Amino acid sequence: MTSHEIRKAFLDFFVSKQHLIVPSAPMVAKNDPTLMFQNSGMAQFKDFFLGNATPPATRIADTQKCLRVSGKHNDLEEVGFDTYHHTMFEMLGNWSFGDYFKTEALHWAYELLTEVYKLPKDRLYVSVFEGDKKDNVPFDQEAFDIWKSILGSDERIIYGNKKDNFWEMGDVGPCGPCSEIHIDLRPEEEIARKPGKDLVNADHPQVVEIWNVVFMQFERRADGSLDVLEDKCIDTGMGFERLCMAIQGKQSNYDTDIFQNTIQVLEEMSGLKYGANGTLSSDNYGDVAMRVVADHIRAVAFAITDGQLPSNNGAGYVIRRILRRAIRYGYSYLNFKEPFMSKLVPVLAKQFKDVFPELKQQEEFVTKVIEEEEKTFLRTLDMGLKRLDQIFENEADKKEIDGKTVFELSDTFGFPVDLTALIAREKGFKVDEAGFKAELAKQKERSRKDATKEAADWFEVNELDNPSYIGYDHQEAVTKLVQYRKV
């Protein structure tokens, strides 16, 4: 099955179970002060669960564009090194708002995976919540009994702890246990050596979690006690890219047709071959770079499409950081000295034109924005990298980059601190984050004084508490000034 067929089969399956299919919410969470980006399928339905709004149907399914690069869910560091965590990914989901509950949710999940997608039953493991005495939450006997009747035995059932198998929206509010489905994609001989059951939730690239089925059945009160909800809800999320890897029999998400178009273009552009030492290895930085670029271009292109331009603060800075991380990988390991990310936008626009047509509609604009960002960063990237090389040489004994230098790299060369840390890590160096923060605070103090001096009326709304990198703004302003002068 192609990825398009896999997505369609999911939605069709839940239509056959009387679900209403809704579009993905924009990836940028504009109306939620607690969230920058949609990080799960349920985020757009929060108000339904909290009882603040009425859902258009009691059964809903969709595919949601998610981005996990900030806050509680931040997978950015993993991306490119592992082969199954992305910044942006699609989460397939089905929901019941006070309609069906555990029995249907688990039966349908298993039916879809084994009968529609024909995934082998002896490769699947399921988890149930083991209970937590300290927190007064019981073992999920109900889910255990349902799985045992579906599977015919308890051999493939795993007991999960609070971290993996209990979901809560916050300290108070709806919560409940969940049940995850994991798949073992290793070759037979490896399975013979070590059973998959021992590798669940152990960061193995081929024993991965594919689906999480959450049972919202409790409401936590402020005093910590639990009430049983009258209208119980189901919230599920399945990683689309991982599902495609499993169905297409691939070793890595990047080997699926979702990423192969982009990787092929990167191969042509760089003259390098992807995966010469196998597609699971992270020893080869060329491969890591292709994965990073193939991943990050999706995140950036869709974020811009959905209204978040790269900028110097807040959500915009998150997008700029992702973009710069990719540019630096392409520059250092794929030999791209000219804008290259923007050239990938048409590949994505075409690939997703039927699912997320918004990218195709804004293709030209998105390409332009990314190209401008690339040009700006490529102007200072080389100098910044040279500066870093100097430090690696000078501080070879200390193996640490001091806060002042980290600040200088950010202020003068536009290197986000996490990018500096990433490059440092490759050389076995650490960065003095505390020193950097101190420098940043000093800079903010300076610019606060400037701001009060020059524009006292603006003082109140000045971005004092905002983690913006004012220094770089300044540098950009200078660049712009120079350009204007030339004109």
> Inter-axis angle of helices 433-454 and 470-486, to 10 degrees?
60
Nearest distance from C-beta of residue 74 to Mg ion, angstroms: 9
Stretch 160-189: interaction string toward ligand ATP, x if CB under 6 A? ------------------------------
Alpha-carbon torsion (356, 360, 362, 368), positive or negative:
positive
Contacting residue, 237, 330, 339, 403, with ligand ATP by CB under 6 A: 237
Confirm or reject binding of residue 165 to Mg ion (CB under 5 A): no
Length of the chain: 487
3-state secondary structure of 277: coil
Task: Give the phi and the psi of residue 124 in degrees, each rounded to 5.
Answer: -100, 140
Alpha-carbon torsion (151, 165, 65, 292), positive or negative:
negative
Confirm or reject binding of residue 242 to ligand ATP (CB under 6 A): yes
Nearer to ligand ATP, 165 or 410 (CB): 165
Instruction: Determine the interface stretch with ligand ATP among 126-134, 231-239, 357-365, 463-471 (rule: CB under 6 A).
Output: 231-239
- Which one-letter DSSP state was computed for residue 343? G
Stretch 90-109: interaction string toward ligand ATP, x if CB under 6 A? -x------------------
> Total binding residues for Mg ion by CB under 5 A?
2
3-state secondary structure of 96: strand
**Helix, strand, coil shares of the chain as percentages rounded to 5?**
50, 20, 30
Q: Please identify which residue in the block is written with the tokens 């339904």.
A: 48
**8 A C-beta contact, residue 367 and residue 345:** yes
Nearer to Mg ion, 209 or 235 (CB): 209
**Distance in angstroms (rounded) separating the CA atoms of residues 421 and 406:** 9
Nearest distance from C-beta of residue 261 to Mg ion, angstroms: 26
Nearer to ligand ATP, 167 or 415 (CB): 167
Interacting residues with ligand ATP between 392 and 451 (CB under 6 A): none
Confirm or reject binding of residue 324 to ligand ATP (CB under 6 A): no
Contacting residue, 40, 212, 256, 312, with Mg ion by CB under 5 A: 212
Q: Which residue is nearest to ligand ATP (CB)?
A: 239
Contacting residue, 4, 8, 57, 75, with ligand ATP by CB under 6 A: 75
Cβ within 8 Å of residue 156, ≥6 positions away: 124, 125, 126, 197
Confirm or reject binding of residue 209 to ligand ATP (CB under 6 A): yes
**8 A C-beta contact, residue 158 and residue 125:** yes
Task: From residue 287, give the alpha-carbon distance in Å to each of 249, 275, 281.
Answer: 20, 6, 8
Stretch 12-51: interaction string toward ligand ATP, x if CB under 6 A? ----------------------------x-----------
Which contiguous run of DSSP H or E holds residue 365?
Answer: helix 363-394
Q: What is the contact surface with ligand ATP in residues (CB under 6 A)?
A: 40, 68, 75, 85-86, 89, 91, 209-212, 237-239, 241-242
Q: What is the contact surface with Mg ion in residues (CB under 5 A)?
A: 209, 212
